[in-house]
Structure 1
Amino acid sequence: MAAFMSAEQLVVTLAPVIVYWVYAGMYEVLLARTTVLDRYRLHSRQEEETKNIASRKDVVRGVLLQQALQAAISVAVIKLDGHGTGATEGPAEPFLVLAARFGVAMLVHDAWQYFMHRLMHSVPYMYRRFHSWHHRVAAPYAYAAQYGHPVDGVLTEVLAGTAAYLASGLPPRAAAAFFIFATIKGVDDHCGVATPWNPLQALFHNNSAYHDVHHQRGGGRWNFSQPFFVVWDRLLGTHAPYVLRQRDGGGLEAKAFKDRHQVKH
């Protein structure tokens, strides 16, 4: 295997998959075995059972298939890009250069996902045939983040990562860090929990409550941006701000405002 791929390239390919299940598993354990997150839940356990069409077994199978395709395409891109197969990385770039590359990757990744995601909702055939799979989970939870039709997964997520990698020129280790970060952020956006002390949800307006609006009934015209920024939604008129309010029976609800002139969260 070492002759086929370097250790750094293996990390780029496999680390995001491992991190996905570990991070999502943390949410599952906390929600299933404790009550520490119950007051911050966006959907009750009963709602997860009644609103979600896809079973948890279907979700696991779908995510594993998506990740297998992701890994295969990642290997192909790395090989074709020629980042020194079987070799170690060269001298480390200055921190500011790496930070700039990381920022470019985030911007390209967001732009690709916004326009492809919006296209999936705008073309009836593409929504019915592909993207509707992801919305079978109407009450999102952590390990359903990458659940969807394989074609949707490749077009929306895998190619977004590929474009970000190629456009930014990130070296393998920095690319691994970027994909791990994007994976954690994607899981967090679908975790179904809005905690004020979660740094990802505090620092990014594009968080679990923001994306929950998109999964709500009638929300398919709003909040397409994922996973980092909300800039494209704001620029192109698809931004639906929200307020969090207490829900009867406990937990929280993200109440969306479709009118730009209403008070924004």
Structure 2
Amino acid sequence: MDFSVPSLDDLLGTFVPIAVYWIYSGIYVMLGDLTQYRLHTKAEEDKRNVVSKRSVVKGVLVQQAFQISVSLLLFTAVSGREASAGVPPPQQPSSLTVILLQFMVAMVVMDTWQYFMHRFMHVNKFLYRHVHSKHHTLVVPYAFGALYNHPLEGLILDTVGGALSFLVSGMTPRTAIFFFSFATMKTVDDHCGLWLPGNIFHLLFNNNSAYHDIHHQLYGTKYNFSQPFFITWDKILGTHMPYTLEKREEGGFEARPTPALKKIN
């Protein structure tokens, strides 16, 4: 197999989303506790999460290092193959419509892949116990814990899912920089544990921090598998858990399953 140095766009597509992850989650950290917007109290976060924040940071860095290695290896191999075959680099579309269409296709592909892989990791007892349960040690999610996963889960859900989204949509590496940065921000936001007024992600998507918070609770681990964009597959396949968002007396909000669903379960 021929190998070649990845292009600048390939490198940016690898490292920019990681920078976006820490910058965006860092903004949430700098905002402070924001008690009036929290989905769980600070006391719950400290009591119910069984892993320290130091360990979470280390775990995310390990996963990101693993993903960087895999991505660079793939880009190096693909670049070398294209160079040896005399294939010219892909041209960036001049039409915004084409780029938006590629974004939509990539979103659908990523949602589909992650829904079925995520659900399988819950259904398969071995994979849940030894792989996916690491992510669920954060019963009360927070922003920089969004990618606190087992490296194998990161490879299957994020790296493979991202590669499929990239290939099927036909986007260029330059477009991919923006798409994967956007997907990263959405994932961080889904785990931020806050219900902020005017949050654009909440305005655009029903799959949001409250929706995903339901999944992280013990009663919701068999529901709300969809991530990171839409809730379509949950609704089609009967794994959608409706909820209400109610204010707590001590401040903040609580996402609660609807009464009808509580009776069923």
* TM-score of the superposed pair, with normalisation by structure 2: 0.90
- Is 1:66 the counterpart of 2:73 in the alignment? no
Contact kept in structure 2, 1:240 and 1:258, CA below 8 Å = no
Question: Counterpart of 2:60 in structure 1: which amino acid?
Answer: V
1:223 aligned partner = 224
TM norm structure 1: 0.90
How far, CA to CA, are the matches of 2:224 and 2:107 in structure 1? 17
Structure 1 position 106, deviation (Å): 0.4
Question: Identity across aligned pairs (percent)?
Answer: 45
Q: Partner of 1:254: helix, strand, or coil? A: strand
Aligned to 1:39: 36
Residue 91 of structure 1: how far off its partner (Å): 4.9
Aligned match of 2:174: 173
1:88 positional shift = 7.0
Aligned length: 254
Letter in 1 for 2:64: Q
For 1:163-207, what per-residue CA distance to the aligned partner results, in whole angstroms no more than 9, with x for missing partners? 111111110110010000000000000000012310111210000
4+ runs of 1 displaced by more than 6 Å? none
Task: Tell me: CA distance 1:197–1:91, structure 2 relative to 1, closer, same or farther (3 Å).
Answer: closer
List runs of 5+ in structure 1 lacking aligned partners: none
CA 1:172 to 1:258, structure 2 compared with 1: closer, same or farther past 3 Å? farther
**Shift of the alpha carbon at 1:230?**
0.3
Give the 3 Å change call, closer, same or farther, for CA 223–56 of structure 1 in structure 2. Answer: same
CA distance in 2, matches of 1:76, 1:96: 32
Distance 1:90 1:156, change over 3 A: closer
Q: Distance in 2 between matches of 1:82 and 1:167?
A: 18
C-alpha separation in 1, matches of 2:62 and 2:94: 35
Give the aligned partner of residue 48 of structure 1.
Answer: 45
Query: In the alignment, residue 213 of structure 2 is paired with which amino acid?
Result: D
Q: Report if aligned partners of 1:110, 1:227 keep a CA contact under 8 Å in 2.
A: yes
For residues 118 and 193 of structure 2, the distance between their equivalents in structure 1, rounded to whole angstroms, comes to 20
Distance 1:224 1:259 in 2: 20
Structure 1, residues 92-140: CA drift from partner, whole Å, max 9, x if none?
A: 3422222111111100000010000000000111100100000000000
Q: How does 1:98-109 map to 2 (within 5 A)?
A: 98-109=99-110
Q: Which residue of 1 aligns with 2:137?
A: 136
CA contact (8 A) 1:62 1:148 kept: yes
2:102 is the counterpart of 1:94: no
* Partner residue in 2 for 1:240: 241
Any gaps of 5 or more consecutive residues in structure 2? none
Preserved contact between residue 213 and residue 219 of structure 1 (Cα < 8 Å):
yes
Q: Following TM superposition, by how much is the alpha carbon of 1:79 offset from its aligned partner in structure 2, in angstroms? A: 3.1
Shift of 1:5: 2.3
